[in-house]
């Protein structure tokens, strides 16, 4: 793996000058000055080593305050700046930019929080609040004196994407990326595109034909010259990182290699085959997909149908609801009652999942059409015999035997074959059920923690068509950020391995949530050794590796032990 | 919020409303009215000193009336931008022409009582509507006594109560007497799955009720939680497992039965009348506090905004979208994100918003003349 | 009606056409849309004094086709026709109207004799009259409000009305 970084080398000459630190202490109106004696703190600051200039501001963050910082940097030849004010969350970026505008490297800035962490919490005790503020400033000065200038890391991004999976989610992602004039390779394992939709007859809630929707998507693909579709294809190998993934793909026996900037995982799911459950035989006891086939080709003929929901779902072995099965059952029940009004249908369910604005009325429509619903619980599962299902209806409190000519089982979507292999190849995690695990369950649902890899559709979690489309496009939007910029920028706050001390235990590799650490062969003091290496672009500087490293070989740039020890040294 | 306001390509116009929209995909002209904050935004440092001495006392919207705020105030502690606003209906200076304490207190000289509404025109290539939702006014469901029985609260009021930074410091105290509530009931489907109000499922309530009940148990291990439901809607990622955790690890009682009505007993405790449909018995349960899971309903003004944009509403009043292209409205170049198109949880709203961004990017890429963002005409 | 687990209901006793039959009669139109939330039972004044009376469960039995059991049950005559369930139902099932349908069917199909229906009519009529008298008697003592012997009032009222 070669890392081509544009500006990792320190461009600035080593800073050998004596530190000349400017300290700016904010009153924040009365927020700080009301409880901390700013005058006293300022006098104290000027007594500290290397401090060349001290100024009090009514509001350091105001235009006046910022101007004062810039002027002081120039007039007093300051080469380090410390601001004592509020939380870094509010104004640190602003102060850093101000330093930069005055010609100072933005990493030669430090902020100490004397508001949230001092004046606001010690309002009752102004004397000790002032002492604490002085302590915090003293520690900050010790740290800022040792800071080194740093440069942001920039990586070129190959403007091409790989989308794995040609179902509706993958197609949607590919179309959205290509719409920004970026080439896409779309890899599909089967010989046809369309994924799970190919086994569907009609779609809920519109009752339009699934084949039409697939055709519509495929037609759009054909009109998108930037998308290269590869069917009967498989990803063989992936190496590299965001911006520069080397991928190896086998397409119907022909192997190709290419470089892409990002990868979208849209590998979908498959429906669990309920072998050995409820007398499943594929003839009189079938899956919903088989029912759909019979409805499509007109071979459906049963006069009584029973559907059992949650077959193998929401059970200890598979602790999840598969999201689409209730609406699939309701859709098929409506179709049957409308086309074959003599056929009686009962749906045996646990909780009906008709969430949102689109589906609740379909549930009502099914009931209006006379579809019966019986509620069972995990404690008493339905029992199937030749021609009948005996259900303990919780809401009636009785066992009821419902005759059937056709028994339809609603089995859940499960992870398809090959997910483990692909997840290892991409270095992205799976959850307990074999679905891909996103970076954040709420705030980053369609991307992985690893930069440059995205996910959508049933690969993430069972979902319906509308979900798959917006997730596909959503993952495309996330992927388009580096693709459209053509570059990725990373803060130079990353872990670094000292190869002399690394003993290749690989705890760091396992601990890294961003897959930023790999092992490499390196010559250390003339010996060929395997040591850990951090990819500075992927590393987020979280420090998990550094904590686990038994030999102290990994340190965090900008937060290394020297800096922290210097602060601790001045703490008491 | 901070990431959005700090982004170099994003210009945030807060406290503003769209007044007029003209043009088509690729070149819309939008007139936005910036309401007067009575604060000079470029001078204000957000220190908040002005709010300290203000003599005003008005019900706090953010805390849903559970606390008071000043006439000059921040909508909530983390509000972006951190600039206060003066409530012109409550401020003594603006209503009676006297006071001006905030002006005297402001070290930055940012208070400006003469500020007026500003009209801003922007030319944009595409529009994303993300105006969110309101919650159903539970007092319309008269059988539940909201607004009449003190210890019947809405789910959002509960969120404020259980929040450590909320008006009660995170303690679940009964509004009637300020004493801690130990027995708390959560009533689902208030104003939803009901053809007399909204015959749709509000999609989020089952999950947040489970969360709320777990939070109450974490807050007070001796408390009891009861959730009244009809069907648990648990199809999102990890949701069913979460329910099982609430049931088995947290001991939350889930009762299948829709509450028929809530009355008040002699000591001011709410009494729920319901059928435990799994035991097939009509029962009552007396709780210290009842939390109503009000439905997600279209935000006030969604209809007007839609009319201005020339886009259609669905039969419930949310913005209509295509089932298989759920970010698209009936107009080219105008997209929706989040609950304005119907109830969605956070993860769904985030992915949905990214999808809307992808569609918007497609539009601006396709249209040759892409006006610069924020280019004011 | 009891709630204990009983052996499977025989297929032959289930009549899938029953629900269609009920819903095809005026008043029964909305029968099938019930989603069994229990609001009807929760608000029912009869269920309150007789827990075995359960409107939601009666709907369930109709939907399952338990024709004989429903039409021959005492439950359909217990309804006070107060319309509370009707008012509260979130799906507008109109259970009170369904009760009327069931009573008519029971009579038509000979589950009860016409005289029985007439008797029930008398009971309804009498109980309304008795209630009116009792309320008026209580109102007479509105000021003093003490020592109102409801049972005695009831006996007197019933005698007079009878």
Pair B140, B288 in one domain = yes
Closest residue by Cα to residue A288 from A276, A305, A304, A303: A305
Domains contained in chain B, number: 3
Pair B290, B306 in one domain = no
Length of chain B: 377
What does the alpha-carbon distance between residue C58 and residue A397 come to, in Å, rounded to a whole number? 12
pLDDT at residue A4 in the model = 41
**Looking at residue B315, which CATH number applies to its domain?**
3.50.50.60
Contact residues, chain B, for A351 at CB < 8 Å: 231-234
Name the residue ranges covered by the structural domains of chain A: 1-150, 161-269+415-487, 271-414, 494-556
Closest residue by Cα to residue A475 from A159, A166, A155, A169: A169
More confident residue, C136 or B214: B214
Nearest to A357 among B200, B238, B351 (CB): B200
Q: Which of B296, B329, B357 is the last residue of a domain?
A: B296
**C2–B contact, CB cutoff 8 A:** no
Size of interface A-B (CB pairs under 8 A): 179
B285, closest residue in chain C (CA to CA): C42
Pair B211, B236 in one domain = yes
The whole-model pTM stands at 0.90
Residue B372 predicted with pLDDT over 70:
no
Instruction: Supply φ then ψ for residue B143, to 5 degrees.
Output: -65, -15
User: CB of A219 within 8 A of CB of A197?
Assistant: no
User: CB of A25 within 8 A of CB of A137?
Assistant: yes
pLDDT at residue C1 in the model = 41
Q: Residue B3: which pLDDT band, with cuts at 50, 70 and 90? A: confident
Q: How far is C156 from chain B (nearest CA, A)?
A: 33
**A478–B contact, CB cutoff 8 A:** yes
More confident residue, A244 or B366: A244
**A206–B contact, CB cutoff 8 A:** yes
Q: Which residues, at least 6 apart from A384, have a Cβ–Cβ distance to it below 8 Å? A: A278, A279, A285, A390, A407
| pLDDT profile of chain C (162 residues), mean per 10 | 52 83 97 97 94 96 95 95 95 97 97 94 90 86 75 81 68
Instruction: Judge whether A1-150 and A494-556 match in fold.
Output: no
Q: Residue B367: which pLDDT band, with cuts at 50, 70 and 90? A: confident
pLDDT at residue A25 in the model = 97
Q: How far is A190 from chain C (nearest CA, A)?
A: 42
Q: Which residues of chain A have pLDDT under 70?
A: 1-16
What does the alpha-carbon distance between residue B227 and residue B264 come to, in Å, rounded to a whole number? 19
Which chains are adjacent to chain C, needing at least 3 Cβ pairs under 8 Å?
A, B
Contact residues, chain B, for C42 at CB < 8 Å: 257-261, 273-275, 282-283
Please state which architecture CATH assigns to domain A271-414: 3-Layer(bba) Sandwich (3.50)
**Across-strand partners of B272?**
B262, B285
Pair B169, B217 in one domain = yes
Please state which architecture CATH assigns to domain A1-150: 3-Layer(aba) Sandwich (3.40)
Is-cis flag, bond preceding B81, omega within 30? yes
Pair B186, B225 in one domain = yes
Instruction: Supply φ then ψ for residue A176, to 5 degrees.
Output: -65, -40
Residues 33-72 on B with a CB inside 8 Å of A are: 42-43, 45-49, 52
Residue B105 predicted with pLDDT over 80:
yes
Closest residue by Cα to residue A374 from B279, C73, C4, C61: C61
Residue spans of beta strands (DSSP E) within A317-375: 344-349, 372-375
**Across-strand partners of B289?**
B184
B9 in any annotated domain? no
**Across-strand partners of A285?**
A407
Nearest to A477 among B47, B49, B354 (CB): B354
Could you report the per-residue pLDDT of B121-131, keeping only the tens digit for each? 999 999 999 99
Q: Which of B89, B116, B143 is the last residue of a domain?
A: B116
User: CB of A84 within 8 A of CB of A139?
Assistant: no
Helix (H) and strand (E) counts in chain C: 10, 0
Pair B88, B145 in one domain = no
Residue B375 predicted with pLDDT over 50:
no
**C94–A contact, CB cutoff 8 A:** no
ipTM of the complex: 0.94
Pair B303, B289 in one domain = no
B83 in any annotated domain? yes
Size of interface B-C (CB pairs under 8 A): 69
Taking each helix axis from N to C terminus, what angle separates A88-101 and A63-75, rounded to the nearest 10 degrees? 40
Q: How far is B266 from chain A (nearest CA, A)?
A: 33
Cβ distance of B194 and C57 shorter than 8 Å: no
Q: How far is B297 from chain A (nearest CA, A)?
A: 10
Q: Which residues, at least 6 apart from B259, have a Cβ–Cβ distance to it below 8 Å? A: B144, B187, B228, B272, B273, B274, C39, C42
> A161-269+415-487: what fold?
FAD/NAD(P)-binding domain (3.50.50)
Cβ distance of C5 and A397 shorter than 8 Å: yes
Could you report the per-residue pLDDT of B167-205, keeping only the tens digit for each? 998 999 999 999 999 999 999 999 999 999 999 999 999
Size of interface A-C (CB pairs under 8 A): 61
What does the alpha-carbon distance between residue A385 and residue C15 come to, in Å, rounded to a whole number? 20
Instruction: Supply φ then ψ for residue C37, to 5 degrees.
Output: -80, -20
What does the alpha-carbon distance between residue A448 and residue A515 come to, in Å, rounded to a whole number? 10
B373 in any annotated domain? no
What does the alpha-carbon distance between residue A359 and residue A363 come to, in Å, rounded to a whole number? 7
pLDDT at residue C9 in the model = 63
Pair B110, B93 in one domain = yes
B375 in any annotated domain? no
pLDDT at residue A227 in the model = 97
The dihedral built from the CA positions of residue A477, A483, A485 and A490, taken in this order, carries a sign that is: positive
Closest residue by Cα to residue A469 from A168, A59, A35: A168
> A494-556: what fold?
Alpha-Beta Plaits (3.30.70)
User: CB of B220 within 8 A of CB of B161?
Assistant: no
pLDDT at residue C149 in the model = 79
Q: Which residues, at least 6 apart from A59, have a Cβ–Cβ distance to it below 8 Å? A: A26, A27, A28, A29, A65, B45, B47, B107, B108
pLDDT at residue C12 in the model = 56
Top residue of A305, A396, A399, A402 to mutate, by most chain C CBs within 10 Å, is A396
Range of the domain at B358: 124-132+299-368
SS3 at position A171? helix
Could you report the per-residue pLDDT of C74-95, keeping only the tens digit for each? 999 999 999 999 999 999 999 9
Q: In the Cβ-directed half-sphere of B27, how many Cα atoms lie within 13 Å? A: 6
Torsion angle (degrees, nearest 10) of CA A35, A38, A40, A45? 130
B14 in any annotated domain? no
B16 in any annotated domain? no
A93, closest residue in chain B (CA to CA): B6
Q: Which residues, at least 6 apart from B251, have a Cβ–Cβ distance to it below 8 Å? A: B217, B225
Pair B247, B307 in one domain = no
CA angle A288, A290, A291 (to 5 degrees): 65
Pair B42, B147 in one domain = no
pLDDT at residue B354 in the model = 98
């Amino acid at each position: 793996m070669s890392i081509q970084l544009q500006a990792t080398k320190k461009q600035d000459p080593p800073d050998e000058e004596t530190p000349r630190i400017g300290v700016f202490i904010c009153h924040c109106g009365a927020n700080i000055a009301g409880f901390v004696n700013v005058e006293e703190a300022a006098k104290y600051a000027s007594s500290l080593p290397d401090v060349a200039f001290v100024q009090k501001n009514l509001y350091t963050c105001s235009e006046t305050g910022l101007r004062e910082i810039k002027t002081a940097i120039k007039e007093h030849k300051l080469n380090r700046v410390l601001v004592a004010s509020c939380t870094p969350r509010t104004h640190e970026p602003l102060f850093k930019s101000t330093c930069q505008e005055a010609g100072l490297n933005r990493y030669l800035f430090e902020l100490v929080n004397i508001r949230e962490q001092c004046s606001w919490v010690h309002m009752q005790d102004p004397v000790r609040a002032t002492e604490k503020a002085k302590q915090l400033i003293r520690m900050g000065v010790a740290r800022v004196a040792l800071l080194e200038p740093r440069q942001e890391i920039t990586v070129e991004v190959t403007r091409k994407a790989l989308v794995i999976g040609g179902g509706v989610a993958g197609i949607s992602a590919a179309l959205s990326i290509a719409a920004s004039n970026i080439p896409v390779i779309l890899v599909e394992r089967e010989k046809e595109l369309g994924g799970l939709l190919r086994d569907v007859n009609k779609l809920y809630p519109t009752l339009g034909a699934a084949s039409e929707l697939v055709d519509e998507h495929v037609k759009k693909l054909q009109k998108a010259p930037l998308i290269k579709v590869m069917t009967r294809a498989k990803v063989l190998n992936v190496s590299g990182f965001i911006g520069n993934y080397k991928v190896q793909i086998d397409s119907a026996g022909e192997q190709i290699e290419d470089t892409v900037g990002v990868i979208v995982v849209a590998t979908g799911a498959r429906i669990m085959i309920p072998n050995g459950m409820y007398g499943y035989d594929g003839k009189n006891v079938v899956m919903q997909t088989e029912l759909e086939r019979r409805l499509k080709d007109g071979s459906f003929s049963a006069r009584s149908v029973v559907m059992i929901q949650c077959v193998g779902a929401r059970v200890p072995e598979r602790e999840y609801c598969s999201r689409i099965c209730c609406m699939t059952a309701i859709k098929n029940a409506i179709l049957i009652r409308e086309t074959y009004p003599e056929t009686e249908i009962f749906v045996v369910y646990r909780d009906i999942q008709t969430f949102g604005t689109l589906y609740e009325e379909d549930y009502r429509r099914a009931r209006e059409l006379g579809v019966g619903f019986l509620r069972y619980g995990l404690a008493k599962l339905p029992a199937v015999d030749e021609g009948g299902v005996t259900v303990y209806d919780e809401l009636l409190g009785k066992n009821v035997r419902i005759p059937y000519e056709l028994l339809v089982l609603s089995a859940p979507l499960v992870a398809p074959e090959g997910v483990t292999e692909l997840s290892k190849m991409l270095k992205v995690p799976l959850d307990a059920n074999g679905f891909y695990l996103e970076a954040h369950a709420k705030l980053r649902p369609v991307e992985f923690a690893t930069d440059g890899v995205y996910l959508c559709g049933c690969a993430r979690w069972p979902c319906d068509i509308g979900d798959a489309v917006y997730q596909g496009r959503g993952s495309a939007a996330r992927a388009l950020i580096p693709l459209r910029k053509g570059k990725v920028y990373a803060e130079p706050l990353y872990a670094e391995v000292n190869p002399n001390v690394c003993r290749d235990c690989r705890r760091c590799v396992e601990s890294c949530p961003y897959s930023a650490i790999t092992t490499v062969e390196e010559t250390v003091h003339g010996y060929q050794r395997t040591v850990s290496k951090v990819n500075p672009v992927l590393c987020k500087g979280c420090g998990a590796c550094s904590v686990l490293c038994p030999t102290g070989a990994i340190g965090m740039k900008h937060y290394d032990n020297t800096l922290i020890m210097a602060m601790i040294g001045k703490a008491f | 919020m901070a990431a959005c306001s700090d982004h170099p390509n994003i210009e945030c116009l807060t406290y503003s409303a769209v007044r007029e929209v003209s043009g088509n995909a690729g070149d819309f002209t939008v007139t936005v009215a910036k309401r007067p904050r009575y604060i000079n935004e470029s001078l204000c440092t957000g220190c908040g000193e002005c709010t300290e001495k203000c003599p005003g006392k008005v019900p706090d919207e953010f805390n849903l009336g559970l606390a008071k705020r000043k006439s000059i105030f921040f909508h909530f502690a983390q509000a972006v931008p951190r600039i206060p606003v003066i409530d012109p209906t409550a401020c003594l200076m603006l209503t009676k022409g006297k006071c001006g304490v905030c002006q005297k207190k402001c070290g930055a000289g940012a208070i400006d009582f003469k500020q007026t509404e500003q009209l801003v025109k922007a030319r944009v290539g595409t529009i994303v509507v993300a105006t969110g939702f309101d919650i159903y006014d539970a007092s319309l469901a008269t059988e539940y006594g909201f607004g009449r029985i003190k210890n019947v609260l809405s789910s959002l009021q509960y969120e404020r109560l259980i929040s450590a930074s909320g008006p009660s410091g995170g303690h679940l105290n009964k509004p009637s007497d300020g004493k801690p509530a130990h027995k708390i009931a959560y009533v689902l489907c208030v104003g939803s799955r009901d053809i007399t109000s909204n015959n749709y499922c509000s999609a989020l309530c089952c999950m947040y009720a489970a969360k709320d009940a777990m939070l109450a148990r974490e807050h007070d291990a001796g408390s009891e939680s009861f959730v009244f439901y009809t069907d648990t809607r648990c199809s999102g990622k990890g949701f069913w497992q979460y329910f099982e955790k609430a049931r088995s690890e947290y001991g939350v009682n889930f009762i299948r039965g829709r509450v028929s009505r809530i009355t008040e007993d002699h000591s001011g405790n709410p009494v729920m009348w319901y059928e435990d449909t799994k035991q097939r018995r009509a029962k009552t349960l007396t709780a210290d506090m009842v939390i109503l899971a009000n439905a997600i309903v279209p935000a006030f003004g969604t209809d007007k905004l839609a009319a201005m944009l020339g886009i259609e509403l669905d039969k419930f009043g949310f913005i209509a979208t295509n089932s298989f292209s759920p970010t698209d409205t009936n107009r080219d170049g105008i997209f929706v994100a989040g609950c304005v198109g119907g109830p969605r949880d956070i993860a769904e709203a985030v992915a949905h918003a990214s999808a809307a961004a992808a569609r918007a990017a497609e539009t601006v890429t396709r249209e040759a003349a892409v006006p610069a963002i924020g280019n004011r005409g | 009606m009891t709630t204990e687990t009983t052996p499977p209901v025989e297929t032959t006793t289930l009549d899938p056409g029953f629900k269609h039959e009920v819903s095809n009669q005026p008043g029964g139109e909305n029968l099938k849309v019930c989603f069994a939330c229990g609001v009807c039972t929760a608000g029912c004044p009869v269920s309150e004094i007789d827990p075995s009376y359960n409107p939601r469960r009666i709907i369930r039995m109709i939907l399952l086709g338990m024709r004989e059991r429903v039409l021959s049950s005492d439950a359909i005559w217990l309804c006070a026709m107060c319309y509370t369930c009707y008012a509260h139902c979130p799906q507008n099932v109109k259970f009170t109207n369904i009760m009327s349908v069931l009573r008519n069917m029971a009579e038509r199909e000979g589950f009860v004799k016409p005289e029985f229906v007439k008797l029930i009519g008398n009971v309804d009529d009498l109980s309304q009259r008795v209630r009116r008298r009792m309320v008026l008697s209580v109102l007479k003592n509105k000021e003093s409000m003490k020592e109102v012997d409801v049972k005695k009032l009831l006996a007197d009222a019933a005698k007079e009305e009878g």
